[in-house]
Chains A and B, each alone.
Chain A
């Protein structure tokens, strides 16, 4: 018969040994680790740990017997308060010392009563050493808030991060375990249950990437629709459910750019050559992972540069109109009433008709038309003037042809 300890993974020849082991601190410690689903540790390791702890303990424990009885909360608070006050006083003292030293250097000596001097000097010698580290500590704290807070938060986030694969439902709680075989199924599920609509699906080339990116965002505790930051993924999910933020924003330029890497619109602008930067983008594309602000901003600019230049833009905006590459103009909804008007086209007169109209003297003009006619005439005269000015201007350069061009060879 063998006597064992499953927790620590040991064998014992006798029951005595086993019992004594069970009573040991090492076993207890391992037992606690086991509850915490941690592997057991060796005895040596345990002993070193205990040794390091006991050194600390001895310092504190050594004080303890002096106080004898257990400290009450009230006492504790009082003590803390006193300590703080003491600290304050010391700081004030140091500051005063520094001031006096300065004054001395400047040559202004002030006769101060010796008694106070002594009283003051004595504690300082002891305290300076104590004070300095605290100052350092506070300094380091400040630095932390200024520079490395983001890093720290990130670290925290990283700690909180849980893995959401592209085949996992973004919004369901993990307890339901909504994991699908394919991304498509997942998208379908999210569309049906949460109304997640993926914009411009026809041009979406990297579905997995998009869902993965969104999942990652959620896993860090971000909401995908607004700039909410939760403590963890669960909080983000709860927020999205509450606010119905289960959608991919796709309105402003920034929002479009954010997920643009998963899309490929090159088929829409046939005449625009595919951007050469496309190949090199893949490594930069991952900037969200790093989520360094500086880098992100740079990348943003890059993205803008990668867009086709304005003159060959596939779609450009003209006030309230969108001009498509086909030449068709799409008007804004607010102007619908004007687009719906069915105006007669302007009449174009032939020469004969123009002649007859020019020779016409019948008086048929109504008052309203007369005003219209006046405006029309003003426009004509302005046009005429402009063309005259242009002619005059053009006449200046008429003999300044740089290269001789033979008319016969044209």
Chain B
């Protein structure tokens, strides 16, 4: 690596630029507002196409993705035009259905037909950065069967039931509670009594509360879920590539499920658990601050991303783990996997520099370096016809973009081969019975790291106690893996300490993404029930509770163009 940044510059970039003030907050707010509007836009598109059935042809995932991205770019082009150098999409609009967990944002030239059917849960994720200040949202909504007319309005006939509903309930409650908890870091005196002796809002507390909520709904927190601090240009967009200095956050992975199962065991735990984590050597870095640890305290003035993915285990009678399986374009063909797609989201790895041979790839690389900064991108962003003009004929523009995609395909593969860019794999949620893991022979132990799997440093081995490497787990998935529906809620929250202290919810919330109508047969249980309920009340209480400022989306007009009147609160 020839690159290095001077210490003074690094201090400015990493510390000073992250101190909240009015301009920074304004950038965060604007980004949040655009994201909210984008989410609202996509939800309205889905509603119109599937629920209200306004169009004869249902809208496909490919089209939704490109429309969402174009919408965001159009909104971005109206703000901060001269003041800042870098702004753009920080998270390409991706739409994951049911068991798809991550990184599914098909290009227009994808041959697959991706439509929704009733009963699907659809996760919409998108994000935007303005001058590196990033806000991101993920929201899961339910596709209902065609509704009935009630009071001259078409409405769903009934709520979603079953395991999917359990997961949605758990994720919603978890996100709201976490937001409240983060807000309580401003006013620790309002903490519920049950949590008072925890010594501030620690990472361990956050983890325990989320785990207990999931548990009471018979669900499990998926690997890849996290509550992490985000900084300017460091919003977790390159997790698994960059080993980020001073990482602060709670991260879930398979090892926590293993730990949970061990804790369930009836025999006494004389064990073991202490030494397990410490003897894992992270493969990529030797900087301990890059390894996530729960030993941190949430501080006012930080910005957090709460990204919770939850799956229900209620459909399975056996004990097992839920893990993520990467789909690459090649394994799918040989295995009997039905679903197959190419990964479309790429991110530039700046640590690597290489003189490229092809002219097209050099051109592509320079465009990537100049345009997309450090954030992930799709190939269609490089097209001349992007963003799509929403007021004109769409099919023609889709065809133009399809044509443009071909020109950069070759260059992209060279960039990929030289590791100048990394493609973000598409991941599926898979359930593996514990029995299968225990009976399988594992002669190589924990040696062997799956480089395709994006993991944070120190989390390379999914099951450290059992000594099962990610490659071994992957091989088990082929035979014994079962797909599970997952649900994701992700919001970005600023713990604003500038004036009198408040929590700014940049994304999510009732105005853009109210939860779908679901009913779960389970209720909150466990040690933290009371605390969680109290936090819920504090969030409702406008006067004495936790002050939450929600960022509202712009108003969408009928023809999907946007009123530019800014409104806050």
A and B touch in the complex (CB under 8 A): yes
Which A residues are within 8 Å of any B CB, using their own CB?
344, 347, 349-365, 369, 372-373, 376-377, 380, 384
Whether A350 touches B86, Cβ cut-off 8 Å, given contacts A355-B232, A359-B246, is yes
Say whether A352 contacts B86, CB under 8 Å. yes
Q: Which of B220-249 contact A (CB under 8 A)?
A: 231-234, 238, 242-246
Closest chain A residue to B348 by CB distance?
A353
Name the distance in Å between A214's Cβ and chain B's nearest Cβ: 57
Contact status of A353 and B350, CB under 8 A, knowing A361-B285, A361-B287: yes
Question: Chain B CB within 10 Å — which of A353, A355, A369 has the most?
Answer: A355
CB of B265 within 8 Å of the partner chain: no
Chain A nearest CB, measured from B156 CB (Å): 43
Contacts of B284 in A (CB 8 A): 362-363
8 contacts between A and B (CB under 8 A): A347-B3, A352-B373, A353-B369, A355-B232, A358-B9, A363-B284, A369-B2, A373-B4
Known: A350-B85, A351-B132. A362 touches B242 (CB 8 A): yes
Closest 6 CB pairs of A and B: A361-B287, A358-B10, A352-B373, A355-B233, A358-B5, A364-B1
For the complex formed, measure the closest distance between the CB of A345 and the CB atoms of chain B, giving whole angstroms.
Answer: 11
Question: With A356-B234, A356-B238, A376-B4 as given contacts, are A351 and B350 in contact (CB-CB < 8 Å)?
Answer: no
Contact of B14 (CB < 8 Å), options: A353, A358, A376, A380: A358
Q: How far is the CA of A377 from the CA of B9 in the complex (A)?
A: 12
Chain B residues, CB < 8 A from A356? 233-234, 238, 242, 350, 374
Residues of B within 8 A of A351 (CB): 13, 85-86, 132, 233
A363 — which chain B residues lie within 8 A by C-beta? 284-286
**Besides the contacts A347-B2, A364-B1, A384-B6, what 20 more A-B pairs have beta carbons closer than 8 Å?**
A349-B350, A350-B85, A351-B85, A351-B233, A354-B5, A354-B9, A354-B13, A356-B234, A356-B374, A358-B5, A359-B14, A359-B245, A360-B350, A361-B457, A362-B284, A363-B285, A364-B351, A369-B2, A377-B6, A384-B8
**For B285, what are the chain A residues with a Cβ–Cβ distance below 8 Å?**
361-363
Chain A: which residue is nearest B355 at the CB level? A344
When distances are taken between beta carbons in the complex, the residues of chain B under 8 Å from A352 are 86, 132, 233, 373-375
Contact flag A361-B2 (CB < 8 Å), given A352-B374, A353-B373: no
Q: What are the residues of chain A within 8 A of B355 when measuring CB–CB?
A: 344
A357 vs B5: C-alpha distance when bound (angstroms): 7
A377 CA to B8 CA, complexed, in Å: 11
Partner of A357, one of B17, B286, B351: B351
In the assembled complex, the Cα of A18 lies from the Cα of B373 at a distance in Å of 123
Question: CB of B47 within 8 A of chain A?
Answer: no
Contact B6 A360 (CB under 8 A): no
Nearest CB in chain B: distance from A15 CB, A: 113
Q: Contacts A356-B374, A359-B242, A359-B246; is A349 near B3 (CB within 8 Å)?
A: yes
| B290 with A358: CB separation less than 8 A | no
Is A369 within 8 A of B1, CB to CB? yes
Could you say which residues of chain A place their CB within 8 Å of the CB of B369? 353
- The interface bits of chain B over 362-403 (1 if a CB of A lies within 8 angstroms of the residue's CB, else 0) are 000000010001110000000000000000000000000000
Q: Residue among A354, A365, A376 with the most chain B CB within 10 A?
A: A354
Chain B 1-25 against A: per-residue CB contact (8 Å), 1 yes, 0 no?
1111111111001100100000000
A355 touches B4 (CB 8 A): no
Q: Report Cα–Cα, A384/B1, bound state, in Å.
A: 23
Residues in B with CB closer than 8 Å to A373 are: 4
The answer to whether A361 and B244 touch across the interface, beta carbons within 8 angstroms, is yes
**Alpha-carbon separation in the docked complex, A351 to B233 (Å):** 9
Cα distance A372–B3 when bound, in Å?
11
In the complex, the answer to whether A361 meets B4 with C-beta atoms within 8 Å is no
Residue of A with least CB distance to B132 = A352
- Complex contacts, A347 vs chain B, CB 8 Å: 2-3, 353
Interface SS majority for chain B: loop
The distance in angstroms between the C-alpha atoms of A129 and B6, with both chains bound, is: 100
B243 contacts across to A, CB distance below 8 A: 360-362
- Complex Cα–Cα for A107 and B380 (A): 126
Q: How far is the CB of A361 from chain B (nearest CB, A)?
A: 4
Task: Knowing A352-B373, A353-B350, A355-B13 are in contact, say whether A361-B85 is a contact too (CB < 8 A).
Answer: no
Q: How far in angstroms is the closest Cβ of chain B from A348?
A: 10
A372 CA to B369 CA, complexed, in Å: 24
Please name the residue on chain B nearest to A353 by beta carbon: B350
Tell me whether A357 and B350 are in contact (CB under 8 A). Answer: yes
Q: Is B436 an interface residue (CB 8 A)?
A: no
| Chain A residues whose C-beta falls within 8 Å of the C-beta of B208 in the assembled complex | none
List chain A residues, Cβ under 8 A from B234.
355-356, 359
- Residues of chain A within 8 A of B457, CB atoms compared: 361
Chain A proximity mask over B338-370: 1 for CB below 8 Å, otherwise 0: 000000000000110101000000000000010
Residue of B7, B238, B289, B373 touching A350 (CB-CB under 8 A)? B373
**In whole angstroms, how far apart are the Cα atoms of A165 and B6 in the complex?**
74
Cα A357 to Cα B17 in complex, Å, equals: 15
Do the beta carbons of A360 and B13 come within 8 Å of each other?
no
Interfacial chain B residues near A359, Cβ < 8 Å: 14, 231, 234, 242, 244-246
- In whole angstroms, how far apart are the Cα atoms of A364 and B419 in the complex? 14
Question: Inside 8 A of B17's CB, which chain A residues have their CB?
Answer: 355
- Asked, given contacts A351-B233, A362-B242, whether A357 binds B14 with beta carbons under 8 Å apart, the answer is no
Which residues of B are found within 8 Å of A362, using beta-carbon distances?
1, 242-243, 284-285, 351
Instruction: For the complex formed, measure the closest distance between the CB of A385 and the CB atoms of chain B, giving whole angstroms.
Output: 12
Task: Determine whether the beta carbon of A361 is less than 8 Å from that of B290.
Answer: yes
Residues of chain A lying within 8 A (CB to CB) of residue B242: 356, 359-360, 362
Known: A362-B243, A362-B285. A355 touches B14 (CB 8 A): yes
Give the interface centre of B234, B246, B350, B351 by most chain A CB atoms within 10 Å: B350
Within the complex, the shortest CB–CB distance from B349 to chain A, in Å, comes to 9
Inter-chain CA distance A384–B7, complex, in Å, is 11
Query: In the docked arrangement, what's the CA distance between A297 and B17, Å?
Result: 69
Contacts of B14 in A (CB 8 A): 355, 358-359
Report the separation of the CA atoms of residues A365 and B351 in the bound assembly, to the nearest whole angstrom. 10
Does A361 lie within 8 Å of B238, measured CB to CB?
no
Minimum CB–CB distance from B127 to chain A (whole Å) comes to 14
Chain B, 262-290, CB within 8 A of any chain A CB? 284-287, 289-290
> Which residues on the B side are within 8 Å of A350 (C-beta)?
85-86, 373
A353 touches B374 (CB 8 A): yes
B245 touches A360 (CB 8 A): yes
Taking the closest CB of chain B, its distance from the CB of A43, in whole angstroms, is: 105
Closest chain-A Cβ to B89's Cβ sits at a distance in Å of 13
> Which residues of the partner chain A approach B287 to less than 8 Å between Cβ atoms?
361
Bound CA span A369–B353, Å: 14
Contacts of B233 in A (CB 8 A): 351-352, 355-356
Cα–Cα, bound, A354→B5 (Å): 7
A198 to B287, CA, bound (A): 72
Chain A residues whose C-beta falls within 8 Å of the C-beta of B238 in the assembled complex: 356
Decide: B132 and A355 in contact? CB cutoff 8 A.
yes
Q: Give the docked Cα–Cα distance between A357 and B234 (Å).
A: 10
- In Å, the complex CA distance between A347 and B350 comes to 11
- A352-B374, A369-B1 known; A358-B351 Cβ under 8 A: no
- B160 smallest CB distance to A (angstroms): 40
* B10 (CB) vs chain A CBs: closest residue: A358
- Contact at B13–A358, with CB atoms within 8 Å? yes
B356 to chain A, nearest CB (A): 11
A11 to chain B, nearest CB (A): 107
- Residue numbers in B under 8 Å from A384 (CB-CB): 6, 8
Residue on B nearest A364 in the bound complex, by CB: B1
| A354 to B369 CA separation, bound complex (whole angstroms) | 12
Q: How far is the CB of B421 from chain A (nearest CB, A)?
A: 14
Chain B residues contacting A369 (CB-CB under 8 Å) are 1-2
* B10 CB contacts on chain A under 8 angstroms: 358
Give chain B residues whose Cβ lies under 8 Å from the Cβ of A358: 5, 9-10, 13-14, 245
Which residues of B lie under 8 Å from residue A355 when comparing CB positions? 13-14, 17, 132, 231-234, 374
| Complex contact B1–A361 (CB within 8 A) | no
Residues of B within 8 A of A380 (CB): 6-7
Bound CA–CA A273/B231 (angstroms):
60
Binary per-residue interface labels of chain B (30-50) against chain A in the complex, 1 for a CB within 8 Å, 0 otherwise: 000000000000000000000
